[in-house]
Structure formats: structure tokens, C-alpha cells
Amino acid sequence: MIDPYCNRTPNQIPEYVEAAREDGYPSARYYVLHEEGTYNPETKHFCCTECYIKIGQPSSPTGWKCP
């Protein structure tokens, strides 16, 4: 599981580490699996907030998933 724009895993992104701890998830990876709307289970890619903003905050009527 990786953000293909910054090449970081959830455990390398402080935002997800903190959110996982606050919400009671065992790891940042589990947090992304259950809470990150950009997570694509087919590619195992997600887009962190910083990258999502940099790429123009894409959206779609059905919800944007990271390619």
C-alpha cells in the first residue's frame, strides 16, 4: 500500500499515524484501509492529503479513487 505521488506508505505519513492512534486503529495502514476515501483496493494505492491537493483535488460522482 503506497501513495504513488510521494511514494510513502501510511506509516510514513504523520497525518495517518496520528489519526490511527486517535481513532483506535492498530496502525496507519489499517486506518487507510477503513477510512481513506481515495484508497483503491485493486491497485493498493491511496492519495495522502498533501498529494491530493497538489494534483488538484480530483473528484467524480462515484468518489475518486487513486489510480
pLDDT tens by residue, 3-53:
999 999 999 999 999 999 999 999 999 999 999 999 999 999 999 999 999
pTM: 0.91
Cα end-to-end span (Å), the chain: 12
Q: Give the Cα separation of 43 and 21 in Å (integer).
A: 25
Q: What is the pLDDT of residue 62?
A: 87
Place of cell 476515501: 37
Take residue 45 and report the three cell numbers written for it.
494505492
Cα Rg of the chain (Å, integer): 11
Q: What is the pLDDT of residue 57?
A: 96
Q: What is the pLDDT of residue 39?
A: 98
Nearest to 31 by CA among 19, 41, 39: 19
